[in-house]
Structure 1
Amino acid sequence: MKKHLLLYLVTITLLLFSCSGTKNIPEGDLLYIGHQLEVNGEKVTKSERKNIENNLDGLIRPKPNRSILGMRPDIFFYNLAGDVKKEKGFRHWIKYKLGRKPILFSEVDLSYNNKIIQNYTENKGFFNVQTISDSTKRGKKGIAKYKVTLNHQYKIKQIVYPEDSTTIAKQITNLKKDSFLKVGEAYDLDKIKNERNRIDTKLKELGYYYFNENFLITKVDSTVGNHEVDVILAIKKDTPEKAKQAFNINSVYVYSNFKIDNDTLNINPNATTKYENFTIIGDEKLFKPVVFENTLYFKKGDLYNRTNHNLSLNRIITLGTFKFVKNQFKESDTIGNYLDAYYYLTPLPKKSIRLEALAKSNSANYSGTELNINWSNRNTFKGAELLALSVFGGLEVQVSGQNNGFNVYRFGGESSLTWPRFILPFKTHTASGYVPRTKAILSYEYQLRSKLYSLQTFKSSFGYLWKENERKEHNLNVFDITYTTSNGITDLYKEQIAANTSLEKVIQKQLIFGPTYSYTYTNSMLTNKKNTFYFKGALDLSANATGLLLGADDVTNPKTILGVPFSQFSKFEIDFRHYLNFSKDTKLASRIIMGVGIPYGNSSELPFIKQFFIGGTSSIRAFRARSIGPGTFIDTTNNTFLPDQSGDIKFEFNTELRTKIYDLVKGAVFVDGGNIWLLNEDTNKPGATFSKNFMNQLAIGAGVGLRFDFSFLVLRTDFAFPLRKPYLPKGEEWVIDEINFGNGNWRKENLIFNLAIGYPF
């Protein structure tokens, strides 16, 4: 079987390498393999020429078939599929997803590309550009050639804003302080367009609802100096009068149960509710007026502005209660220069049920599946509240590693109630485009680790979630309670406890309660930025006030609640990520994680579920899950299974170069490092305590991986190996010189295969 598979792979590889893409090219035509672009000009610096060249490269059409080491696999798959008549199926997928038709030289329009080059360079201030195009032939392949000669780039000498006495002209002139256009800078049509858009946006904030950027005209005078231009902004003469006028808000109407197939919008007085600044219209009184008070920004008499316009719409949409949201402004019939605002809202079905089948992987190197049944009730108490009930069951197994065979079975349920506002004893109103939320959760989980033990976990929390904007998010739980108890402890696990007493803390009863808070900032959604970031800081406090009130200061005789000792600690953790985007398909992703947990009062150590772990599929991938540390400690007992090593302090760093190999396949090269430590000394774990030498105790690994991106699922495979093992004798920690991929024993001891879902960070 293996021989047949190897023969198949070798055959496919040979076919791919032999595929230059020219086999089926029509007689008299050529395979277009790209273009060569040369940008010259003595009056322009080398860096400016290079920048122009890079931008023009992306504009020239068509794009040739992709080439990998001389192969063109997209042509290979296109031809392999043959004549496909159906618009779906496996062959259609091969032909049009993996494959692409050969791009012929007859499809290249040299004169069209000349115009593209001419237009682009003129738009950048080069008004006297010479462009020459040609072509060359290499066997059955053709290349387009473009030679561009740049002269002087024109600079802006003066910017003239509207000078008439109208109010709107004065408003535009007042906006010039923050202009994108600067005297002395190069003429750039894109900047001029952006400036018109900026002025339009600012005017929308000043009440000019009917104005748009097309009412602004830009004139350029290139006769004013030596390679200089005057940029003159003016309002078009045929601009409608109402576009020159600022508008205020008169009445606000909300159709709370709008049917999208309605032909008329007659207001039924019997189905109308007046509430402060709003008129709520609906056949049924589905929603309490407070819903709209908390989401709509416009009040009677307000000056129209685009910010409040968009914020109101965004808040209504993010309520998660409406299927369709439509907004319209109309001139008031009763008063001049005033607008009536209309909101047409189509509710989602009040109740729904959803069945989910999930594929999962976790930090302990377990992979598995989970089945969820979710029931939800929107607008539970007529205030757009969301009541959600779910039950789940799942199985997790370790594909490779010492825990293979110790499967984890989980089932449980959760109920949650979310209010689209802050539940507080005083009234609040946020200026964010996202509705703040109050959320209460109650959950139960039963976890069975086969051959070892079972755990029951009860959780309850009440807190607030709010976003300042799309980048900043806060999550504050006023109280967060966790109670864990164990049963079904097997003789095998008891034997392991006798050999390693630290395993007992896994099955001890745990009671944790207190506030938690996290803050998240990210701009990683900005795909056009070269540098993007993600930051999350978390604070977890347990029983601080309770410990103080009860006088908990003796860990040998801890205070209890209902017979269970409660945990007392403070825990801090930060997760910082940086993404350096070289191109659309290539980026360098880096991460640093730092955390510390400080037990005191009623506790000598953090509860097990709050401790830090390191190693595994999304951590240091060259080491088994949760097998590193703490410090230089290594468990030498002959365990049937690999215990979870944990610590009070964590430091981890990762960096990964990601690039696209083929449409669905992405590759990565990575380096991971870090360790965990104990805060207090443990005589059973020598070398585990944090010290000033912690940087000399880092585990480091490297590897390569493939990511198969199916859009709905990213399947990740990584092969990693250690570069530094902190538990080896001093001076022998670095093992780079021992790397030997051809040695079976080395591979067995050091090469780690990770299978996971999603990116590690």
Structure 2
Amino acid sequence: MKFNFFYLKSVTTKISFILLVLLIISCNAVKKVKDNQHLLTENKIFVNNEEISTRQIYDQLYQEPNAKLPLFGIPLKLHIYNAANPQPDTLFYNWLHKKPKREKRLIRWFSKKQLEQIGQSYVGLHKYLEEIGEAPVVVSEQKSESSSTRLKAWYWNHGWFNAETDYKINKLEHKRAKVDYYIKTHQPYKLDSISERIASPQADSIYQLHKEESFIKKGAQFETDKFNAERERIVNLFRNNGLYHFEQEYISFEADTINTDHQVNIDLVIADRQITKEDTTYTVPYHAHFISDVNIITDYKYQNRNNAIKDSASYKGYTLYSFDELKYKPEAIADAVFIKKGQVYRDLDRSLTYRRMNQLGIFKYPDIQYMADPRDSTGTNLITNIFLTPKPKFGVNYDFDISRSNIQDFGIGFGGSLSIRNIFGGAETLEIGGRGSIGSSKDAADSDDKFFNISEIGADVNLSFPKIAFPINTDGIIPKSMFPFTTISAGVSSQQNIGLDKQNVTGKFNYKWYPSQELTQKLDLVDLQYVRNLNSGNYFNVYENSFSRLNEIAQDNYDQVNASYFETDDDPTDDNLPDLSIPDGTTAFINDINNGVYTLTSDESQTASDIIERRDRLTQDNLILATSFSYIKNTRENIYDQEFTQFRLKLEMAGNTLSLIAPLLNFDKNSSNNYNLFGVQFSQYGKVETDFIKHWDLGQQNVLAIRALGGIAIPYGNSNDIPFARSFFAGGANDNRGWQAYDLGPGSTGGINEFNEANMKITLNAEYRFNLFGQLNSAFFVDAGNIWNVLDNVEDEESKFTSLSDLSELAVSSGLGLRYDFSFFVIRLDVGFKTYNPAYNKQKWFQEYNFSNAVYNVGINYPF
């Protein structure tokens, strides 16, 4: 979590003051509406006497009522605007001089300069209120008439050429009014005959080959948008088939509707190219152009423009030039260029080259220019010149953040990375990074009365290069037009006084490519993770709930348990029995249970079995060697796009390769008859994760967002459980916000452990987002979800998913949030209430629906 606390404090203070002002002012919505004016409260559109609600049609109106808060229907921004005094300087001056001695007294208290600053702040506040508020929308006869005309144009553009529109302003009491719009569509016009008049034979030939792709179809209703789309299609078609000089202005459509009985006859006209030379204008037919040369200047700078070229190289029809010694392997640069010598000119090739060069990350935005080849007498050959300006060889980045989590009450994180571009001359990027953190935790293994009593340090190295590194050629499967990358990475980290003090070693070898602008695919061929627990004896200090339950069993059977297992107590009584010592007493007691030393009740045996299974799993070292494939589709065009769909699917398999070679190489086996590698039992499982997100733009900065997330991981072969690092958890700022992270589930157990996790998860989220004022947004949300154990070694029935009836254990939370948009990121505060808690036996709804049991989540950016 990264943000400036002082800036946030300033923003929060300003918001609090504004809200305080709103509480004490009158909520008269027509406060600034003149006596001869009326506040617009509602628009209604009737099509053929039926009211409609289509957002696209309402968007044609020039006036909409002031934005209102969802559910409450309060025009908050209007009230903020009304709170601002139109003449704050005069108001302050009058107040200052209302009493003869007031100004002198204030100057004596503050000084004259400070008093002037107070006056400026007062004026500034009222201007700020006007800025973030919204002026009253006053009904305008002219704008209503213009809206009616615009509605008629909208229906005309959709084929209703004879549509009639009208409007009526309904003036109400208290200076308010509504506007009704009436539309009679009549019979729509449909496309009949479609003919072409294309002057250039070569252009006509290209068009005829792709005629079936036309957006204009006989029998379809007339739509202007389809003609615009067809015009763009023709331009793209011609410019991607060699017609370098073709422009959209040469395309026109002629429509005939005279005596056609609501049919439209279309004539497509494509004229020859016009050339103006001095005072003479003449036309020439279009011809296909071809690329005769591709020149790449690899170190272009403006100050080098008149310098002589010092180095050059040729590779597969490309010629690379440099004003200094050539620092790039020709094949690496040429592979990022899609414009090829001898091929027909295509806009697409230029666009692909722009995109690929930007992806490399070693050049600034390239400049691609075409010029007529002076050696060609036919005038159809083009020389391509590509000017590349290198970015600096080295790049340095620093990170600093302040955070809070389940593990630490307060933490400071820091890190940095060094990027080395084109390190081996093949457009590779090497990134070396380090990270660390210190924090304070009451659960630290050895606090030693220090505030900063936990720490973590780590380092990473990452090498990325723009191709698929594989023994055989993969161009037939993943061509370079999919912009492939190969990445090799490794990382190490170590924790001190954090839980069990883990050492973590990771390594990855993956491929990423982009079949389309919306689609990303990723293959982690090798995903290696080794987790070593350095302080397993601290388990019951960390997982205190597990210790409490185990200790209760020991105390209930105090007479059977060896007294040395307990902490020293000179005078134990039935009401004050000693606790098991950690780790010696707990370890010995568990060994006795496993050996059947005690006579326990069935409930005690089940509880003890669950505690022992969880302890064994969370204290064992993990070795994971996995392969995964990710499919990601995202229709979002940019960060400002509010209506889009995202879909992610990840398939992961772990341990299969090791399982195949284990018997061949005679790996050692442990007491559970499973294979070990380097003394660690390797994990074997299959895992599926999927995530679907959909956003709808409802207009006026209102957005409806939903998410459905699910996952399951099944152990088999060499494993009977899923490693903690690859399991699922529920709750938290981006999940089920009525519960803290790791506090929810599994199933109906009620989150009895400190860190609850399982191998199956379902999460459903919905948010209605809206603007309050200025950059401050809000949202109402409902979250549902839980985690379960399935097909693993957990025996507790309450935590297992056995049938569809267990979907009744989906926990539900609801709440509201505030989000402040800083343009480059959003800081978010969500308040979640437990709405349906499956852990309760009887009344599950609204038992903890209050602020004392609410969960306050602070996050960066939106949860989904």
2:488 matched residue in structure 1: 440
Query: Is 1:735 aligned to residue 844 of structure 2?
Result: yes
Q: Specify the alignment match of 1:464 in structure 2.
A: 511
Note the alpha carbon deviations across 1:512-542, whole angstroms, 9 max, x for none.
2343333323335599897724122131313
Which of 91, 94, 101 pairs up with 2:128? 94
After alignment, is 655-664 or 135-144 more displaced? 135-144
Q: Is the counterpart of residue 715 in structure 1 residue 715 in structure 2?
A: no
**Equivalent residue number for residue 464 of structure 2:** 418
Query: Aligned pair in 2 of structure 1 residues 457, 510: CA closer, same or farther (>3 Å)?
Result: same
Counterparts in 2 of 1:531-610, with a 5 A limit?
532-542=645-655, 543-551=658-666, 556=672, 558-562=674-678, 564-579=679-694, 581=696, 583-584=698-699, 585-601=702-718, 603-610=719-726
**Residue in structure 2 matched with residue 162 of structure 1 by the alignment:** 197
Q: Give the direction of change, closer, same or farther, for the CA distance of 1:461–1:242 in structure 2 (3 Å limit).
A: farther
Q: CA deviation at 1:309?
A: 2.3
- Corresponding letter in the other structure for 2:311: A
**Separation (CA, whole Å) in 2 of partners of 1:82 and 1:363:** 50
Opposite residue 679 of structure 1, the aligned amino acid is L
Code of the residue aligned with 1:611 in structure 2: it is S
Q: Shift of residue 227 of structure 1?
A: 2.2
What CA deviation, in whole Å up to 9, does each residue of 1:61-101 have, x standing for no partner?
Answer: 255543443535256247538679999x9859934762244
Deviation per residue, 1:276-335 (Å, 9 max, x gap):
211112212121111222211222111122322221221111111112211122222222
Cα 1:70–1:654 shift into 2, 3 Å: closer
User: In 2, distance between residues paired with 1:689 and 1:101?
Assistant: 57
Instruction: Say whether 1:512 aligns with 2:512.
Output: no
Deviation at 1:568, TM superposition (A): 2.8
The yes-or-no answer on 1:211 pairing with 2:246 is yes
Provide, for residues 158-190 of structure 1, a one-character-per-residue CA deviation record: whole Å limited to 9, x for no partner: 111226672212322343312211222222222
Which residue, out of 646, 650, 654, partners 2:760? 650
- Count the aligned residue pairs: 725
For residue 506 of structure 1, give the secondary structure of its aligned residue in structure 2: helix
**What is the Cα deviation at residue 569 of structure 1?**
0.4
Q: Distance in 2 between matches of 1:279 and 1:8?
A: 65
Aligned residue for 2:756, secondary structure, equals: coil
SS of residue in 2 equivalent to 1:590: strand
Q: Verify the 8 A CA contact 1:62 1:108 in the aligned structure 2.
A: no
In the TM superposition, what are the counterparts of 1:217-366 in structure 2 within 5 Å? 217-236=252-271, 239=274, 244-260=286-302, 268=308, 270-284=310-324, 285-335=326-376, 336=378, 337-358=380-401
Q: CA deviation at 1:678?
A: 4.8
State whether residues 788 and 800 of structure 2, in contact with CA within 8 Å, keep that contact through their aligned partners in structure 1: no
CA contact 1:210–1:243 (8 Å) conserved in 2: no
CA contact (8 A) 1:707 1:714 kept: no
Q: Which residue of 2 aligns with 1:18?
A: 27
User: What is the CA distance between 1:548 and its match in structure 2?
Assistant: 4.0
Tell me which residue corresponds to 2:817: 706
Check the 8 A contact 2:414/2:437 in 1, yes or no.
yes
C-alpha separation between the residues in 1 aligned to 2:364 and 2:738? 47
Structure 2 residue identity aligned to 1:565: V
Q: Does 1:202 align with 2:230?
A: no
* Cα offsets for 1:13-72 (capped at 9, x unmatched): 44466141533x5x6763653674555558xxx5xx848x75443133255543443535
Measure, in 2, the Cα distance between the counterparts of 1:654 and 1:559.
39
Shift of 1:547: 2.8
Report the CA distance shift for 1:12/1:314 in structure 2 as closer, same or farther (over 3 A). Answer: same
Contact 2:713 2:722 in 1 (8 A): no
The offset of 1:611, in angstroms, is: 2.6
| More displaced 10-residue stretch of structure 1: 116-125 or 292-301 | 116-125
> Equivalents in 2 of 1:379, 1:756: separation in Å?
36
Deviations 1:547-573 (A, max 9, x none): 3434556652554444x3131302312
Where structure 1 has 5 or more consecutive residues not aligned to the other structure, the ranges are 637-641, 742-746
Percent identity, please: 19
Stretch deviating more after TM superposition (183-192 or 413-422): 183-192
Distance 2:264 2:337 in 1: 46
CA distance in 2, matches of 1:353, 1:629: 43
Amino acid at match of 2:651: A
TM-score of the pair, normalised by structure 1: 0.83
- Equivalent in the alignment of 1:380: 423
Tell me which amino acid in the other structure corresponds to 2:755.
D
- Following superposition, the deviation at residue 103 of structure 1 comes to 5.0
Residue 33 to residue 541, structure 1, CA distance change in 2 (3 Å): same
Of 670-679 and 78-87, deviating more is: 78-87
1:727-754 C-alpha deviation (Å, 9 max, x unpaired): 555xx3x51274664xxxxx65x54333
Report the structure, 1 or 2, having the larger helix content: 2
2-structure distance, mates of 1:753, 1:294: 51
> For 1:92 and 1:302, how far apart are their aligned partners in 2?
65
* Aligned partner letter, 2:356: R
Rounded Cα–Cα distance in structure 2 between residues aligned with 1:395 and 1:78:
49
Q: CA deviation at 1:441?
A: 1.3
- Kept in 1, the 8 Å contact 2:815–2:831? The answer is yes
Output the CA distance in 1 between the equivalents of 2:408 and 2:789.
Answer: 21
Residues 1:160 and 1:12: Cα distance change in structure 2 (over 3 Å): same
Aligned-partner residue type, residue 415 of structure 2: N
Native 8 Å contact 2:633 2:648 kept in 1:
yes
Specify the alignment match of 1:639 in structure 2: none
Q: Answer whether contact 2:650 2:688 (CA < 8 A) is retained.
A: yes
Secondary structure in structure 1 of the residue aligned to 2:366? strand
Q: Which residue of 1 aligns with 2:59?
A: 58
Question: Contact 2:413–2:436 at 8 Å: present in 1 too?
Answer: yes
Equivalent residue for 2:556? none
Instruction: Trace 1:181-192 onto structure 2 (pairs within 5 A).
Output: 181-192=216-227
| 1:346 aligned counterpart, secondary structure | coil
Does the CA contact (< 8 Å) of 1:365 and 1:625 recur in 2?
no
Secondary structure of the residue that 1:503 maps to in structure 2? helix
Name the residue aligned to 1:486.
533
Q: 1:726 Cα shift?
A: 4.5
- Tell which structure's C-alpha radius of gyration is larger: 2
Q: Structure 1 pair 82/433, CA: closer, same or farther in 2 (3 Å)?
A: farther
Give the CA deviation at 1:233. Answer: 0.4
Aligned to 1:744: none
Residues of 2 paired with 1:660 and 1:32: CA distance? 22
Q: Unaligned stretches of 5+ in structure 2?
A: 1-12, 90-119, 276-282, 444-450, 548-582, 587-607
- 1:686-710: CA deviation from partner (whole Å, max 9, x where unpaired): 6445534662672422211214041
Amino acid in the other structure paired with 2:649? K
Q: Secondary structure at the match of 2:242?
A: coil
Match of 2:728 in 1: 612
* Pairwise CA RMSD: 4.1
